[in-house]
Amino acid sequence: MLNIYNIIKNTLNNINIITLIMVCIFSIPILVGLIRPLTNDRIHRSLGSLLSNLILLVSIILSVFLTGLILSSDTILTKLYEIIPALQSAVESQSYWVNIILIIILFLIIDGILHLLTIPVYKYAFRPMSNRMASSVNSMNGFSRRIIGGLWRLPKSILLVLLFSILLNFYTGFTSSSPITEYANNSAPYQLVQENVIQPLLNSTTVKNIQVILNNSFKTAENEFDDASGKYLVKYFNGVTLSEAVQSNSAIDATAIKIVSSETDDRKKAYLIYKWISGHITYDNEKARIIATNSSGVSSGAIAAYNARTGICFDYSCLYVAMCRAVDLKVRFLTGLGYTGSEWGDHAWNQVYDSKEDNWINVDTTFGSAGVNYFDKATFFVDHRNGIVQGEW
């Protein structure tokens, strides 16, 4: 008995809860269809239910997609900020809840519109179709009707799995670490749906090919920064401290000076350097994968990025610091979480000081290299959060 108990216990411990839920969601409607043969009334109700589920699925997809579109558009948000000034601080400080609220509002609007538009479809297409199908099914024997009943429920099973996967995708996207997220990452069925259906449908961001670091490197940096002594105690990659990583050389200094040329305005100088780094440094996905498991032996920092013309977020941000210092710009190095469209992970970016406006400008040369403007972006805090200033020069 003890061996049986241990076997059952080990089996339960090895079961992925997300996979189990998805199997149940997919199987239950089909089993119900096999047990309960189709009747005229069930066909009518099933078609109505199928149409409602389709509307629900489309409404969720459109609401999530449009939310991402709105929150990634500087033009739209700037106009909204002018109409609702309090919205800007809400987006910057509580982007998670802003996403949820906006999705709910858009969902209710879209769902209502689609229900109104599909009333004629149900009345003039689905209802006559169900009558013809019911007539055909009633002429079959009991076994055939059960098989048809199970297959009849297949579209509903697929729709329910997609709905569950979309909601789970949204949850895991804004929850950087939780048991549910871990189960989702290790669930083969969910990852299959995620990669082949959800990401193509929902992830409109152009930075989704940029990887974030998932080994808590920057959380370690936050904990080991000695604010009292002003020393950066943490060693990031290959034994390089932050102060060493942002060191420049004559080639970097000369390039930075050439980039800004005769420009004297801080904001314009900072933007010119941002554009150069975003356009000349290529993101190194292979290096990101290596560092996520073992950072030893990997060359990092401003000089490494400049010489190789490749790097990860740490290298981009260090090079930005080095170039800004070369042209007398005050600059910061920050670490926190970045969202690539599919996951949150450790990320690094910068802030540069505009003396004319007396404020710090958010700058992300890494995400900027994907072709989106991340220099003083109105929606910067939609995909950046928990920023910690690790150094200022």
Token duo for residue 195: 């990669």
DSSP 371: T
In percent, the amount of the chain with pLDDT more than 90 equals 22
> Between vectors from CA 80 to CA 75 and to CA 82, what angle results, nearest 5°?
100
Residue 232 pLDDT greater than 50, yes or no: no
Q: Are 196 and 359 in contact (CB under 8 A)?
A: no
Q: How confident is the model at residue 81 (pLDDT cuts 50, 70, 90)?
A: low
- This prediction's pTM: 0.56
Lowest pLDDT segment from 77-86, 244-253, 359-368: 77-86
Q: Where in the chain is the domain with CATH 3.10.620?
A: 217-392
Q: 27-36, 224-233, 253-262: lowest mean pLDDT where?
A: 224-233
CA 20 to the chain's CA centroid? 24
Give the model's pLDDT for residue 206.
47
**Does 141 score more than 50 pLDDT?**
yes
Cα distances (Å, whole numbers) of residue 99 to 11, 102, 165: 38, 5, 18
CA distances in angstroms from 71 to 67, 105, 291, 337, listed in the order given: 6, 14, 31, 17
Confidence of residue 331 (pLDDT cuts 50, 70, 90): very high
CATH of the domain spanning 217-392: 3.10.620
In the predicted structure, residue 34 carries a pLDDT above the cut 80: yes
Residues with Cβ < 8 Å from 320, sequence gap 6 or more? 273, 274, 277, 331, 350, 352, 363, 365
Chain segment 353-392, per-residue pLDDT in tens: 999 989 999 999 998 887 778 898 877 877 788 888 888 9
Neighbouring C-beta atoms of residue 182, cutoff 10 Å: 13
